[in-house]
Structure 1
Amino acid sequence: MSAPRIMVGVSGGVDSSVAAWRLVQQGEPVAGLFMQNWADDGSGECRAEDDRRDAVAVCGLLGIPFHFRDFSSEYWNGVFEHFLAEYAAGRTPNPDVLCNREVKFKHFLDAARELGAERIATGHYARIAREGNQWLLLRGADRSKDQSYFLHQLGQAQLSATLFPIGDLNKSDLRRMARDANLPTHAKKDSTGICFIGERDFREFLGQYLPARQGRIVDPDGAEIAEHPGVFYFTLGQREGLNIGGVRGRPAAPWYVVGKDVASNTLYVDQDRESPWLMSTELVSENAHWIAGAPPAARFECTAQTRYRQPDEACTVQVRDDGSLHVRFPTPQRAVTPGQSLVLYQGDVCLGGAVIAATDAPLEQRLRPTPSPFEVSAA
C-alpha cells in the first residue's frame, strides 16, 4: 500500500472523525493516527482507551489505515512539567496551547512524515489561507467553537503542512454530517477539560503533585474572611469553590477571587463581580510569537482575547526591545490573569500571541515586588 498523502489526527471524537471523512470524500489518500498523550495513572479517569477504540472504528468504517503513537513522555516533558511549574508560581497556565505547539504540531507532524505523509489534518475549528508566500491562520467559521486561540503558537512551517477540514463548518452541520455518514462517533459527547484530569476533582489531582497548605482568605483591606485549602487551586475572577458561608457584618452576596499571594499563602476576595481590584487596562507579556514570523509593526492597533471565548477587545500593542509586549486597552478588562494567553487578531486573522506576565490591576501592583515590569523600555 502506498503511503498516505495526509495523516489525520484521529482522537476518537466527532470532530476528527468528520475531518477524516471529508478528506476521504474528496478522494485524498488518507490514514489516521491516534496520539496517546497521558500515561494511564490507574485512576480510570482518562478515557484514552475508549477514545482509541472509537478512532479504530472510524478508520475501519472509512477504510483507511490506523496508526498509534504514544507521546506521553513528550507530553510530560513539554506540557505537564510547565503546567505544574506555573501553578506552583501562582499563575494559571493554558496547557492546550502548549499541547498544540509541543505535541500535535511537532511530534505528530514528525511521526506523520516518518510514515510517508506530506501533510497532517486535525479536527480543529480554524481555517488556513495563503496570501502570496504568507500562510494565515483564520478563525473557524463557527465563532462559538473557534479554536484559533489555542493555535496561536503555530508558525509558517506548521501551517504550510496542515489542513483543518472542518474549519468552515458549524457544529450543528458537522453533527448532521456525522449522523448521515453513520460515523460511530456522531452522538459522542464533546470532551471538555484536560485529559490527564478527566472527570476527577481538580484539587485532588493537583494535590498529588503540588501539596497544598491551608491559608487565609482575606478581603483587599486584609480583614480575614475564611480559610482556603490551597492557594494554587484558585484563579482570578473565580466564584465557585470558595465555600465562604455567611460572614458577620457582610452582605449575603457571592465572593470572587481578586488576588493571590503565593509567598504568604493568602487568597484575596471581594463581593463585587466587577470589583475594581479585578480590573486592569494594561498588561505586559512574555516574548511574543508571531504567526507571520514578525509583528506587523513596532506599535499597532488590533483586537485581543485574554481568555478563550472572550469577545474581541480593542487594544494598542507596543512591541518592546526584548520581544515582549506592552498592551493597553481603552476599556477596563476583568480578571486578566498572568499565565493565560493573550491572542491578537486583525479581523479573522490571528496574528499570534504571548503569555500574560503582569497587569496593572491594583491588587497585583500592591503585591508585586519592584521593579515594575511596566518600566522596561519599548522599541
Structure 2
Amino acid sequence: MNKNSNHCFIYTIRCKIMAMKIAVALSGGVDSSTALYLLKKEGHDLFGLFMKNWEEEDREGHCIAEKDAEDARAVCELLDIPFYTVNFAKEYWDNVFTHFLKEIELGHTPNPDILCNREIKFKVLFEKALALGADALATGHYCQTQNGQLHKGLDPNKDQSYFLYTIKSSTLNRVHFPIGHLEKPHVRALAEKASLPVFSKKDSTGICFIGKRNFRTFLEKYIPHEPGIIETTDGKQVGTHDGIYYYTIGQRKGMGVGGPGEPWFVAAKDKKSRKLIIAQGEDHPALFAPALIATEPSWVTEEPTFPLHCRAKIRYRQTEQPCTVEKSRDTLHVRFDEPQRAITPRQSVVFYDGPRCLGGAIIDHPTH
C-alpha cells in the first residue's frame, strides 16, 4: 500500500465513524471541489457555500468572482448537492482590505491571506455554516487536524498550514480538510476520474482581490505616489521611486537599476525618509539577519514553554529552519541557528514541531 493509500484509508475510517452535516467552502477550484466529492463518497449530508468577498467588475462589466461561482455551482449540480452563495464583501473590506491598505501605507508587506482565513473563512463563514445547521465546515486546504491540533498537509509543495496558524483548536475541532492527506497530482486525478468540470482548472495565485492584475496598477487606485530616492547600502543615490510600498524586502526586479556586476535587491525600506535601500548580490550581508522580533503571537492550542526550541519559517515556500524562541510579555525573540535572508516586517513567522504547526506571530523587524 503506498503512502497516499495508507493516509486515505486512515482518513476514511476516521470520517466514516459518523455521518455529519457539513458545509463545504467552495472556491470554484479543483481542491475544494475534490474535497466536496470525497465527503459525498463518505455519505455525509452536505451543502456548498461560495463566498463573494470582493465587489468589483472587470473591464467588460462582469463580476470577477462570477466564473468561479458558476464552476462551484456546476460541481454541486453534478454531485446533487445544495449550493448557496454568501456575500461577505463588507466584512472583507472592513476586516481585511482596510487593514491591508493601512499596512501598505506604512511601508510594510502584509499577508492578507492569513487575515482572511482568521477573520472571514474561519470566523464569518464558519459561523454562517453553523447557523445554517452544519455540524462542521470543510475546506480544500492542504492541512490536517488531530485532536484540535493543526498539522501540515502531506504534500510539501502544497502545505498551507502557514496560512492557518491563527485558527484556534476550538474551531479546528469542527473543521475538515478532506484533501490534506493527498498530494496535488492525486487530487487532480480524483477530480478527473469523478468527471468534475474543474479537474483541469489552473490554480489561482497571488492576492485574491488583485487576481491577474499588476500589483502596482491596483495599488495606485487607493494610495497616492510618495516619490523618494533609491540608495545603495553605502549611501550612494542610484535612482528614484514612486513609493516604497511598491517594493518588498528581497525583491530583485522593478527598481530600474542596472549596470555591471550582480543583480540588485531590496535590502530595507525607510518610511520616514522614503528611501529604498538596495544591495548588490543575492548573498549580500545586508539581506541577512540571525534573529527577529515578532509580536501578536497566536497559538493553535496552549502556549508553549519558553525557551522554545523548534523550527520556523518566515515565508510560505520556505523550508522550516531550526530556531530558539524566547518570550518577553507579548513579544517573541526568535534566533535562528543560521542567518535568514529577507526577513520582512509584517509577514508571519510560523513555528513547527515536526508536522505539527504550533502557531506563529507577526514579524516586527530583523535584529542581530
Normalising to structure 2: TM-score of the pair? 0.92
SS in 2 for 1:174: helix
Quote the Cα distance in structure 2 between the aligned partners of 1:95 and 1:41: 20
1:189 paired to 2:196: no
Aligned to 2:106: 89
Q: Are the aligned partners of 2:232 and 2:279 in contact in 1 as well (CA < 8 Å)?
A: yes
Aligned to 2:232: 219
Quote the Cα distance in structure 1 between the aligned partners of 2:88 and 2:21: 22
Find 2:86's aligned residue among 69, 79, 85: 69
By how many angstroms is 1:12 displaced? 0.3
1:303 counterpart letter in structure 2:
R
SS in 1 for 2:296: coil
Quote the Cα distance in structure 1 between the aligned partners of 2:197 and 2:286: 49
Aligned to 1:99: 116
1:229 paired to 2:242: yes
Aligned to 1:288: 297
Find 1:359's aligned residue among 333, 356, 366: 366
Uncovered stretches (5+) of structure 2, i.e. residues with no partner: 1-19
Aligned to 2:13: none
Aligned to 1:368: none
Counterparts in 2 of 1:116-195, with a 5 A limit? 116-130=133-147, 135-195=148-208
2:298 counterpart letter in structure 1:
H
Task: String of CA shifts for 1:292-347, please: whole Å, max 9, x gaps.
Answer: 1x3220211000010001011000011222x2211111211000101100000000
Counterparts in 2 of 1:312-327, with a 5 A limit? 312-321=320-329, 323-327=330-334
1:195 counterpart letter in structure 2:
C
Aligned to 1:376: none
How many residues matched?
Answer: 349
Find 1:33's aligned residue among 46, 49, 64: 49
1:53 paired to 2:70: yes
Counterparts in 2 of 1:224-373, with a 5 A limit? 224-246=237-259, 251-292=260-301, 294-321=302-329, 323-360=330-367
Closer/same/farther in 2, CA of residues 46 and 261 from structure 1, 3 Å limit: farther
By how many angstroms is 1:270 displaced? 1.1
SS in 2 for 1:284: strand
SS in 2 for 1:287: strand
2:344 counterpart letter in structure 1:
T
Quote the Cα distance in structure 2 between the aligned partners of 1:86 and 1:213: 15
Quote the Cα distance in structure 2 between the aligned partners of 1:80 and 1:16: 24
Quote the Cα distance in structure 2 between the aligned partners of 1:71 and 1:93: 21
Identity over the aligned pairs, expressed in percent?
47
Normalising to structure 1: TM-score of the pair? 0.90
By how many angstroms is 1:253 displaced? 2.5
SS in 2 for 1:303: strand
1:276 counterpart letter in structure 2:
P
By how many angstroms is 1:358 displaced? 1.2
Task: String of CA shifts for 1:78-116, please: whole Å, max 9, x gaps.
Answer: 111111111111111000000000000001111111111
Uncovered stretches (5+) of structure 1, i.e. residues with no partner: 362-379
Quote the Cα distance in structure 1 between the aligned partners of 2:68 and 2:256: 35
Quote the Cα distance in structure 2 between the aligned partners of 1:23 and 1:154: 22
By how many angstroms is 1:150 displaced? 0.1
By how many angstroms is 1:73 displaced? 0.6
Q: Are the aligned partners of 1:125 and 1:167 in contact in 2 as well (CA < 8 Å)?
A: yes
By how many angstroms is 1:41 displaced? 4.5
Quote the Cα distance in structure 1 between the aligned partners of 2:219 and 2:151: 34
Q: Which runs of 4+ in 1 moved over 2 A?
A: 41-47
Q: Are the aligned partners of 1:152 and 1:353 in contact in 2 as well (CA < 8 Å)?
A: yes
2:349 counterpart letter in structure 1:
L
1:297 counterpart letter in structure 2:
T
Quote the Cα distance in structure 2 between the aligned partners of 1:122 and 1:52: 15
Task: String of CA shifts for 1:210-241, please: whole Å, max 9, x gaps.
Answer: 11222211101210111122211101100021
1:58 counterpart letter in structure 2:
V
Q: Are the aligned partners of 1:46 and 1:198 in contact in 2 as well (CA < 8 Å)?
A: no
1:110 paired to 2:127: yes
